[in-house]
Structure 1
Amino acid sequence: MMPVTIDAGDVIAGLAFLLSGYATWQTVSFNKKQKSFVESQEKLNNLLLEKENEVAVKEKSADLGASFIKLGSSKYRLKIWNKGSATARNVRIEFPEGNDVVIDLEISDKFPMESFERHQSVELIAAVHMQTKRKHVVRLIWEDDAEVHNEKLSYPTL
């Protein structure tokens, strides 16, 4: 067997090898962290884009609703309003479960509405009597800059 001799060059080479291994491990570790950071940044950017798109769509959207309002002791109106950011066009109203409260002439005189501005409302005379059901279903249909066909069910109560 040959005696093994270690000189200063071998020690330096060993240290260089260990240092190189440590540097490689640090680089791999850093790259993992960098990749995680890039993925987080990408997710954040996607969320911001989604939010911006939602805001843009909301700005182009009308939002219609309906409720009954009482005037005096026995007079009622069905109030239709637009609380959205955009103008609704070609607004129509339907009563899927039948209409026994709003006068037909009121509907045919006022609907379809060509244009229904933001914060605009219209009131329809309601004929309320003892046999009138208390809850009604109103389907509101319209167009706006966000969608060609919008539809919303509203459940106004007396």
Structure 2
Amino acid sequence: MTFPFTASDIIATLAFLLSAYATLKTIQFNNKQKALIESQEKLNQRLLEKEEADSVSNKKADLGASFIKLGNSKHRLKIWNKGKTAAKNVSIEFPEGNECIIESEITDKFPLEVLDTHQSVELIASVGFGIKSKHTIKLCWADEFSQNNEKIVYPTL
């Protein structure tokens, strides 16, 4: 027994195949669209995290210290602020003892009321033989981010 194919059978078969192809392409397109939306959501999340981090860093002062040499025998301890906001009530401590900074320099200049961005303060250092080359210095300050910031630095002569 043979089935005679009529023109309407051929057209119906072609329409079915075309419909199946269109369905397959729609599913593929929807999968790509879903992946694109997920990618955009991840990107938006990262942008939000970056903006929050920038907002936090704009409220922080970042203090540092190093010894500088002026001429043959003069040394200074330079304390600076490279943060994006001013440091307030800046104080300096020497956890392992102070061997080289003149005590009157510390008492005259600290606590420092304000250390603005890119501003620095220098303390006279008395350097001689027998003084260790690496010193531990604890810097304490307040800024818009926190009232109790601390940083330990290890400047060397």
TM-score (norm 2): 0.88
4+ long deviations beyond 6 Å: none
Q: Which residue of 2 aligns with 1:8?
A: 7
The 10-residue stretch of structure 1 (15-24 or 49-58) with the greater mean CA deviation from structure 2:
49-58
- How much does 1:15 deviate? 1.6
SS at match of 2:156: coil
**What is aligned with 2:22?**
23
* AA partner of residue 53 (structure 1): E
Q: More displaced, 18-27 or 41-50?
A: 41-50
SS at match of 1:79: strand
Alignment correspondent of 2:55: 56
Please give the alpha-carbon distance, in whole angstroms, between the structure 1 residues aligned to 2:6 and 2:69. 103
**1: CA distance between counterparts of 2:98 and 2:38?**
55
1:139, CA displacement in angstroms? 1.5
Alignment-derived partner of residue 41 in structure 1: 40
SS in 1 for 2:138: strand
Q: Which amino acid counterpart does residue 154 of structure 1 have in structure 2?
A: V
Superposition CA RMSD, Å: 1.8
Alignment match, 2:64: 65
Greater shift in the superposed pair: 100-109 or 28-37: 100-109
Structure 2: stretches of 5+ with no match in the other structure: none
1:76 aligns with 2:75: yes
Structure 2 counterpart of 1:121, one-letter code: S
Q: Secondary structure at the match of 1:145?
A: coil
Structure 2 residue aligned with 1:142? 141
CA distance in 2, matches of 1:17, 1:148: 72
Q: Cα distance, 1:3 vs. partner?
A: 4.4
- Give 1:83 shift: 1.5
Give the counterpart letter for 2:85 in structure 1: A
Q: Distance in 2 between matches of 1:127 and 1:3?
A: 112
1:132 aligned counterpart, secondary structure: coil
Q: Deviations over 1:10-60 (max 9, x none)?
A: 222222211111111101100111111112222222222232223322222
